[in-house]
Each structure stands twice: as C-alpha cells, then as structure tokens.
Structure 1
Amino acid sequence: MSLEKQVKFFKWISILEGISFLLLLFIAMPLKYIFEMPEMVKQVGMAHGILFIAYIIGALLLIKPMKWSLSQMAIIFGCSVLPFGPFYVEKKYL
C-alpha cells in the first residue's frame, strides 16, 4: 500500500475513532447513567474499542514512513485518549 493510501486510511480511522469516542461520552454514557439504558454503551463501546485499536496500529505503522519524532509520537498516542484528540492529529500531523 502506498504511503498516500496509508495516510488516507489512517485519516478515516482517526475521524471515526474520534466520533465514536464522542458518541460514547456524550450520548451512550448519559443514556446509561441518567436514563438507565445501557444497551447503547455496549454497541458504541464495542465500535469505539475496535476503532481505538485500529488507530493505535495505524499510528504505529506510520511512525517510520512519516518520520515522526518521539515527541510527535507521544502527542499522537496521547490524543487517542482525549476527546477531540484524534481530530487534532488528523489536522496537524496528516
């Protein structure tokens, strides 16, 4: 796979991971704890977990081709656990 295609694929993973995290935090969790509807957390949580793993693997695969420094890598991995973090990575580093 070419670097251009890898980056494009990682951009999509980054955006989808960010959206799934926001859905989990701001829709599924309130539904579970305020309205006692835990079903959404199971579904969105599973999707978010898969996308999170894909994000980490995608970032690991791009370290060498993108020539990211240690500090850039720390920011990219740190953003994976912050709301809106993956969107920042997508705009700043890709």
Structure 2
Amino acid sequence: MEPALQRYRVMALVVGVMLLVLVLVAVPLRYGFDVPQVSKVVSPLHGFLYIVYLVAAFDLAMRARWTAKGTVLVLLAGVVPFLSFWAERRVTAQVRAGLPL
C-alpha cells in the first residue's frame, strides 16, 4: 500500500503546484497582459499530469478500498486550487491509520 500512497502523494503535490501556476501565473498573463505562451505550455502539461494523478489516486482507492464517494472527491481534488494539498494530507493520514475514506 505504501508505494501506491507515495505515487498518489507525489502526483497530488505536482498537480496542486501546476494548478496554482496555471491559475495564478499563466491565466493572468494570458488574459491580463496578452502573453499566451505560458498558458500554452502550462495548460496541456497540467492536463496530462492531472490524468496521471487520476490513475495514481484511483489505484490507491482500489487498494485501500475507498467508498465511491470518497474516491470521486479525491479525484476531483486536482481541479480546485489548494484542495489537492488538503486532500493529500487527509488521505495520507486516513490510509496510514487504516481507516476508510
């Protein structure tokens, strides 16, 4: 279970950082300063990394036997700024304690 948890943790942090870069840097540059180059790189990169996050989170969900509701909530955590950081901490605590999510 620990390797699946580590994969999930890494991807949650990476996706969270990329989402913050997208929302706080790339989008303002694109729409506020007419500099679309950063968004053209960060947007697809975040999209690809989010898919990897989904795979890692789903793998952990299956191994830890999460409920459908818990699984869906964790999967959606990668699309709300800052939420993936909070979800990662909560998931890590729950999995290490052997509690269901």
The two structures share one fold, judged by TM-score above 0.5:
yes
Partner of 1:16: 14
Structure 2 gap segments, 5+ residues each: 93-101
Pick the aligned partner of 1:58 from 41, 56, 71: 56
Alignment of 1:43-54 (within 5 A): 43-54=41-52
Whichever residue aligns with residue 34 of structure 1, its letter is G
CA deviation after TM superposition for structure 1 residue 22, in Å: 0.7
CA RMSD of aligned residues (A): 1.1
Q: Contact 2:58–2:75 (CA<8 Å) still a contact in 1?
A: no
> Residues 40-63 of structure 1: CA distance to partner in whole angstroms, max 9, x if unpaired?
001111221111001111111111
Pairing partner for 1:75 from 73, 94, 100: 73
* 1:69 Cα deviation after fit: 1.3
Q: Partner residue of 2:83?
A: 85
1:34 to 9, 21, 32: 32
Relative to the length of structure 1, the TM-score reads 0.90
In structure 1, stretches of 5+ residues that fail to align are none
SS in structure 2 of the partner of residue 37 of structure 1: coil
The Cα shift of 1:77 comes to 1.8
Count the aligned residue pairs.
Answer: 92
- Give the C-alpha shift of residue 80 in structure 1: 2.1
Share of identical aligned residues, percent? 27
| Structure 1 runs of 4+ with >6 Å offset | none
